[in-house]
Amino acid sequence: MFRLRVRLCSALVPALLFLLWTPLATGEMLVDHTCTDLNQVPGTAITQAVADLHIAYNHTSHGSQIVSGLNALESFPDFGDTYQWSDDGSAGLDLDDYGIPCSVPDLSQGDSIDGNGVTPWVTCTRDFLDLPANSHINVILWSWCSIDGHDAQRYVDNMEILVAEYPDVQFVFMTGHAQGQGEDMTPDSVHYNNQLIRQHTHTQGRVLFDFADIEAYDPAGAYFWDLYLQDNLDYNGGNWAVEWIGANPGSELDQLTTGEGVDGYDGLGSCAHSASPTDATLNCILKARAAWWMFAELAGWQPAHLFGDGFETGDLSGWSASSM
């Protein structure tokens, strides 16, 4: 198994964070399990995302996990209106859920070639973006249902068509959810396809929301994908959400997931394919937190790296192996 990292969200140190703002971020961006702690994201970055981003998102039930989590963050009393969002942008972040009219609702059902020589979701996205009324849209997300048995190379090739045709729009690539296959690299299997997408986005410098990677690790960083992880976070030996919530009572993630000890908030409640056991709804919370992290980055926030000299400057002139 290999892992690609241009920057690790978990390498952040709050005292070394800095902000650089651009109209819309470009270049490689990896959003994975290390990008789920919103306490690392400055409030100004969230405000900038709300001000700058106009998102259209198409999905079916697995993709709805992000939206369910967004609703939970929006409703959590301690957050006020920080994570507010709406379909039309009238309140908070402008995220048009199911926003692209199309005969295919997700990437899995759109894995074919239509009369235009592209996948039908490419044709639908073109038709949507070409409407003058949608000229403000600057982020497009399509998610998978099951990625198993599909043509991931076709997917990335067709995403590149859209990237080339609409340079002012940021297209977010996604991996597919766990299906109990572990790290099997049989061509067109879940892990094979996810690795192909990861390699492509790294090589081409694209934005990747690594849906699968967020499922693969618990909040402490323990890895479960190789233990035949399922989409409700069951693995050969248990369920990592149940175990983590049980070990961290009263934590913010526990409260967001279960609502225990929080007045006026009953927990997330529903998370498609990840609601049994109930603590597995943590899956939706983590994906929504990663989505807000991504929105902040897309709007121009740049998390600091830790460089070899131990400073955020990136000056390596005084670095040596002995300083590690």
For residue 36, which of 209, 272, 198 has the smallest C-alpha distance? 209
Q: Rounded to the nearest 10 degrees, what angle do helices 152-165 and 120-129 cross at?
A: 20
Which stretches within the chain are classed as H helix? 43-52, 64-75, 120-129, 152-165, 190-204, 211-216, 240-247, 252-258, 282-298
pLDDT in tens, 57-114: 999 999 999 999 999 999 999 999 999 999 999 999 999 999 999 999 999 999 999 9
pLDDT in tens, 13-30: 333 333 333 456 668 999
* Residue 88: DSSP 8-state: S
Residue 26: per-residue pLDDT = 67
Residue 25: per-residue pLDDT = 62
pTM of full prediction above 0.85 = yes
Q: Which residues of the chain have pLDDT under 70?
A: 1-26, 305-324
The structural domains of the chain, ordered by start, are: 22-308 (3.40.50)
